[in-house]
Amino acid sequence: MALTAVKGFNDILPDESGRWRYIEQTARRVFERNGFGEIRVPVLEKTELFCRSIGDATDIVEKEMYTFTDKGENSVTLRPEGTAGVMRAFIEHKLYAQDPIAKLYYMGPMFRYERPQKGRYRQFHQIGAEITGVNDPLADAQVLNMLTAFFREIGLTEPTLQINSLGCPECRPAYRNALRGFLEERMEHLCEDCKRRFATNPLRTLDCKVPGCVEATLGAPSVLEHLCSGCEDHFSSVRRYLDLSSTPYSINHRMVRGLDYYTRTTFEMVTGLLGSQSAVAAGGRYDGLISQLGGPAIPGIGFALGLERVALLLGSQDFVSLPDLFIATMGNGERDAAFRLMDGLLKSGVRVEMDYEGKSLKSQMRRADKLKARYSVVIGGNEVVSGRASFKRMADGLQADAELTVAGIQKLVGKPEQ
C-alpha cells in the first residue's frame, strides 16, 4: 500500500505555494517597515519551556503537545507556538543586554495534537511578531496597527479586530474569585472540562464552545469591571491610540486566551468565514513571561497569525506564476535554436517553456494553453533564417512581429533587462 502523510499534516503543493509566498512576503514587508527583524528558532525545545510559559493547566500543555523522550532520555516537544522559543532565545543570547527593546518576527511550522478540520491542523504554520521592553500602550497600538496593515495590504477586509484586557497579577485574582462565585451556582450546567477548569483556570469557561457552558456563563462578571487602576489606564490608552490611528476594533470582554502568559491587552482577529475556526490571528501582552523563564523583568507583546487560515480567506485567487512565453518548433531541425533561445531568455529573467518531447505542433500548442503562457511563438526554418517571428498573445490571439532574440522578446513581453 502506498504511504500517506500523517493525519493533520499537509503537503503544500505548487498550486498553493504561490499564495503562501504572497502571504509571507506581505508579512515581511509590513513587519520590516515597522522595524522588526527575523529570528529563526528550532522547532524542538525542552518540554519544560512550554510547561513554564504556556501553563500546565492549558489545553495545549494538557492535551495537545507532541512530546517524546529522545534517545538521550530528555523530554522534548515539537513547539506548539512561537513566543516561548523566541523568548528563550532572547534570554539565552542576552539580546536584552544590547537593547531591551527587541522587535522580532518569525514564521514556520507549529504542532498541536488537535482534532483536524477545516482551518485546524496538527502541523500548521504561524507568522508571529514580538516586541520586548516597552510597557507603554503605544507598543500595543503599534502591534495592532501592524497586524491591521498586514490584512489591509494582503487585500482582505475580513477578519476584524477584537480587543480585551485580562488585567495583571494584582487584579486578576479578584476577578477569578468573582467569576468562581458566579460559576459556583451554575456548576451542574458546566461540562466536565469546565468543572475541572473551575478549580485550575476558571477564565477558560468563558471560551468553552459546549452550548450548556455558553448558556451558563451568560451574564458572567466582566474582567473589564475588575481591572486595577493601572490596567484600566493602560487599556484606555491603547484604545485612545487605536482611535488616533483610525484602527477599527471592538471590545470583547469575554475573550480569554488559551495560553497562561497573558497580562493586560489581549486581542484576536476574527472572521465568520471559517466555521468554528474563527481566530485568524491572536496575541497579547506578556509582561511576566521573560522573568518567569529566568530572564530579567522585561515586558513583551506580540501576536501570531495562522498562515493556513489566511490562505483560506484569500480563496482561489491565482498566485501561480505563469510562463511569459511558450516556444514551439515546426520540427526537430529547430530544436537547437529554440533551446538556445530559451536558455538565453531564462538567464535574462524571462519565464519560458518549450516542448521537451518532440511532439506535434498541435500538441505543443495544447501545452502552451494548458500552462497558460502569455505569448507563444512557432519557430520554423524561415524564422531561424530571418531572425524574426510572429508572436501570439494567447489571451486575445493578437499577433505581433518581433525579433527572435533575447532583447526583442524581453521588449515584447515587458520584462526589463536584468
**Contacts with ligand HAM, 295-314, as mask; x by CB under 6 A:** -------xxxxx-xx-----
Give me the least distance between CB of 227 and ligand HAM, in Å please: 20
Closest to 234 in 3D by CA, of 143, 167, 301: 167
Distance of closest approach, residue 102 Cβ to ligand HAM, in angstroms: 13
133 binds ligand HAM (CB under 6 A): no
Shortest reach from residue 122's CB to ligand HAM, in Å: 7
CA end-to-end distance (rounded Å), the chain? 49
Cα(124)–Cα(109) distance, integer angstroms: 5
Q: Which is nearer to ligand HAM, 82 or 299 (CB)?
A: 82
User: Can you tell me the distance from the alpha carbon of 251 to that of 271, in angstroms, rounded to the nearest whole number?
Assistant: 15
Q: Shortest Cβ distance from residue 269 to ligand HAM (Å)? A: 7
**CB-count exposure of residue 363 (10 Å: 0-12, 13-18, 19+):** exposed
Rg for the chain, CA atoms, rounded: 28
Binding string, 168-187, against ligand HAM, x = CB under 6 A?
--------------------
In the complex with ligand HAM, the residue whose CB is nearer, 79 or 374, is 79
Q: Are 269 and 159 in contact (CB under 8 A)?
A: yes
Q: Which of 95, 279, 354, 412 binds ligand HAM (CB under 6 A)?
A: 279
Residue of 85, 167, 283, 295 that binds ligand HAM (CB under 6 A)? 283
Q: How far is the CB of 64 from ligand HAM (least distance, A)?
A: 8
Alpha-carbon distance of 352 to 415, in angstroms, equals: 12
- Residue 114 as a binder of ligand HAM (CB under 6 A): the answer is yes
Q: Which of 30, 220, 282, 389 binds ligand HAM (CB under 6 A)?
A: 282
Stretch that binds ligand HAM, among 113-121, 163-171, 312-320, 347-355 (CB under 6 A): 113-121
What is the footprint of ligand HAM within residues 234-263 (CB under 6 A)?
258-259
HSE (CB half, 13 Å, CA atoms) of 335? 11
Closest CA to 144 of 253, 302, 38, 25: 302
3-class SS shares of the chain: helix, strand, coil, % to 5: 40, 20, 35
Contacts of 218 (CB under 8 A, 6+ apart): none
**Of 45, 130, 353, 355, which lies in the binding site for ligand HAM, with binding defined by CB under 6 A?**
130
Residues that bind ligand HAM (CB under 6 A): 81-83, 112, 114, 119-121, 124, 126, 128, 130, 258-259, 279-284, 302-306, 308-309
